[in-house]
Structure 1
Amino acid sequence: MVNASLNWASIAGIFLIIIWIPAITSGVFQIWFTLNRRADTSPKVILKTFFIIFLTTGRAFCIPLAGGIMFFQGWRLDPILQFGMSLLVLGIAVEMIPSFINDYQGWRSRIGRASATILVNKQPSDKK
């Protein structure tokens, strides 16, 4: 039986679906940048890469699943549990948003490879 109504849990489910879009986008770009910029194969870098991949796949599948369950089945919860789930979702969002902002600022301040190689290879000519 599918019954969707507008309550605390369904609003929290919709919010989870909305926040899932930047979460998965940020995760994919984070994996892309991590794999492209790392030349060394130290265990620390490999562990960090696997951790980022693990977090991204978890975000990709768990956040929309939880949002869908809360949207379609949240009406079954009593009001106190609905409010508790809404606080939990708000806590998740508060934890995720600063990392989105930090990632975005880091991507904006990055120097591309082409411009970096041009700057490195340019040397003043020696006049003799």
Structure 2
Amino acid sequence: MGNDIRRFSSAKRFASWLRLVPNNKQSGGRIISSKTPKGKNAIALALRQAANSIGNQRASAHSFLQTDCLPERTERSNYRHVARKLALIIWNMITKTQDYLQPNTQLLYDRRKLAQVNNIKSRLFRLNLSRN
């Protein structure tokens, strides 16, 4: 990573340098491939292993990581996505020199419930319009 992480102007560029961001190949506006490129970066490998470890633990063991950015249950194919999220958190913590602030889980739960209720309401509304 070098002497200073601040050489990356954004967290996205840091994650891209770690090769944790998909390399979208397009032709004529159509996505041909969106695989995450393989790399030998030691930091990226450590983040992938940490994400894989989070996914292998039981939900109660990593409940402190249950936020919007890190899902409660990590699918095996999703560990690279979690590794990218960890890289973004690390970049923000180092460049902004602040501790990790765990979000209010009750507030997140309420937001998800409200979004689900609104989704159901809109589906019902569309169903009633299609029947008339």
TM-score clears 0.5: no
Calculate the TM-score normalised by the size of structure 1.
0.26
TM-score (norm 2): 0.25
* Bigger radius of gyration among the two: 1
